[in-house]
Amino acid sequence: MIDTNLIKANSKDISERLKLRNYSFDEDLFANLEAQRKKYQTETEDLQAKRNTLSKEYGLLKKEGKDDTALSKNIESIKIDLDTCSNKLNEIQSSLKEFLLDVPNLPDDSVPSGVDEGSNKKIREHGEPAILKGKDHLEITSMIDTESANLLAGSRFAVLRGEIAKLQRALIAFMLDKAAEHGYTEYYLPMIANTESLTATGQLPKFSDDLFQLTDDYFLIPTAEVPLTNLYRDQILNLNQLPQKLTAHTSCFRSEAGSYGKDTKGLIRQHQFEKVELVQICHPDKSFEALENLTSDAETILKELNLPYQVVELCSGDLGFSAAKTYDLEVWIPSQETFREISSCSNCTEFQSRRAKIRFKEDGVSKYVHTLNGSALAAGRALIAVIENNYDQKGAINIPQALQDYTKCSSIKV
RNA sequence: GGAGAGUUGGCUGAGUGGUCGAAAGCGCCUCCCUGCUAAGGAGGUAUACGGGCAACUGUAUCGAGGGUUCGAAUCCCUCACUCUCCGCCA
């Protein structure tokens, strides 16, 4: 949520910046709602103040046994006005909130402008992508079983068997250990979140179609960013508690509505996948520095797995709803002869902390923290990358050195 | 799932219809006293939002939501959570 004072002060500027990310901000509607909010709030509070004083007087009169009919009438009429006024106020406040919850975060000034991914900017590259087009992961091994998954649940699910299931588990354990090395505290979390949590991090109310909803107030999480960030919801931290660095492995669930026909083959786009997430809660002055660190924490894993990848800075039009600045890490997928997103590291500035009311106290003043998140990494996609980039073309997958402590073997027969 | 008890400020804990944003203690902060240590004294110490250049001031908040009342921390209803006992269970 954007600071309303900021909008009031520079409505034009805000509107321009939001245009960069293809959001058209209705300045007039906002100004109108905000003006009305102010009017009705002041009026309501005045009436409440009046009622409070008169009620006190009434009490005194009663005590002294004096006549109270005139006062009683006066109070009654104030109550009627107050009722109308506060109803109106509630109505406007919820419209205003609805309006504001729909507005995406402001792109940071450093973000390249552009309408779509075509304007994303490659920052750096690491490793040597394979020259020849390779087999895809489904062709390489039958231990990824989409047919069974289809039988059990439907499309966009996978059953992993034997060594491949173990390989994914090894990847997750490796990633968690790396996160711990980088100072992140490991969490085990509910994989169901409620409406409030999902609203705080920005998935709701706008993107409910992307979520699996279980019941009225239960949703499967689309990422561990949701529970991890919400751990601090409604809290005021001490300055010395910052930064907080958290990590968790969870399953992630996405409806993938609107992606029919996209990446239908293999593990690339699933309804359920495993991911290790990094989250940082930090001082506003440190968040852009923290984004560089968090991104490099995620990169370390790709480096140690010897996977070729590139780092891309998203342009304004390609930013996610809550992000002010994002780096995508894209890993080389030989069968597709292209780089595919395997991590997305974002600085959400105070967008989520305003929604979640996560603050810290500095010099006696409470301020909003900045929140950051990034995958380190998406395990399903990492699995594909490891399989395809290490297939020896003869029936074995060579396990990267860094993983061998976990797999207890140096290659897998497929 | 059944029965009972509870939820008040950073903490402990008073408060059963008005003078209560809330006693007292602890903690914390400022100042005073004191040549160390220890002790003592005075004052201050929630959050959000609104109005005001500011000093300041208004409103709301005693688990959450609704209700009764001129007036609710206090009475009524619903819900959540915690604890104890029983049942069941990984």
Amino acid at A265: K
Confidence of residue A349 (pLDDT cuts 50, 70, 90): very high
Residue A164 approaches strand B within 7 Å at CB: no
CATH architecture under which domain A117-413 falls: 2-Layer Sandwich (3.30)
Closest nucleotide (C1' vs CA) to A72 is B70
* pLDDT average, residue stretch A57-85: 83
Q: What is the mean pLDDT of chain A?
A: 92
Top mean-pLDDT range of A89-103, A132-146, A374-388? A374-388
Query: What pLDDT was estimated at residue A286?
Result: 93
A 10 A CB-CB count for A213 gives 15
Give the bridge partners for A371, in sequence order: A281
Domain A26-101: which topology? Helix Hairpins (1.10.287)
Residue A124 approaches strand B within 7 Å at CB: no
Closest nucleotide (C1' vs CA) to A75 is B70
Amino acid at A93: Q
Confidence of residue A170 (pLDDT cuts 50, 70, 90): very high
Q: What is the ipTM of this complex?
A: 0.82
Closest nucleotide (C1' vs CA) to A60 is B18
Confidence of residue A362 (pLDDT cuts 50, 70, 90): confident
Percent of chain A, pLDDT > 70?
Answer: 100
Q: Looking at the predicted structure, is the pLDDT value of residue A337 above 80?
A: yes
Confidence of residue A237 (pLDDT cuts 50, 70, 90): confident
Nucleotides of B under 7 A from a protein CB: 18, 47-51, 58-60, 70-71
Cα dist from A224 to A33, A144, A171, A308, whole Å? 35, 24, 17, 26
Confidence of residue A174 (pLDDT cuts 50, 70, 90): very high
Query: What pLDDT was estimated at residue A75?
Result: 86
Query: What pLDDT was estimated at residue A310?
Result: 97
Residue A56 approaches strand B within 7 Å at CB: yes
Q: What are the tokens at A79?
A: 């109550």
* pLDDT average, residue stretch A120-147: 92
A 10 A CB-CB count for A53 gives 10
Confidence of residue A403 (pLDDT cuts 50, 70, 90): very high
* pLDDT average, residue stretch A80-93: 87
What sign does the dihedral A287-A290-A295-A301 (CA atoms) show? negative
A 335-394: CB within 7 Å of strand B: 359, 361, 366
First to last CA, chain A: 49
Query: What pLDDT was estimated at residue A261?
Result: 82
* pLDDT average, residue stretch A107-128: 95
CA of A97 to C1' of B13 (A): 39
Query: What pLDDT was estimated at residue A240?
Result: 83
Query: What pLDDT was estimated at residue A91?
Result: 86
Percent of chain A, pLDDT > 90?
Answer: 66
Confidence of residue A181 (pLDDT cuts 50, 70, 90): very high
CA of A238 to C1' of B7 (A): 25
Give yes or no for a contact between A246 and A374, defined as CB atoms under 8 angstroms apart. no
Residue A73 approaches strand B within 7 Å at CB: no
Residue A192 approaches strand B within 7 Å at CB: no
Confidence of residue A57 (pLDDT cuts 50, 70, 90): confident
Quick one: which residue's CA is nearest to B45's C1'?
A: A364
* pLDDT average, residue stretch A191-198: 90
Domain boundaries, chain A: 26-101, 117-413
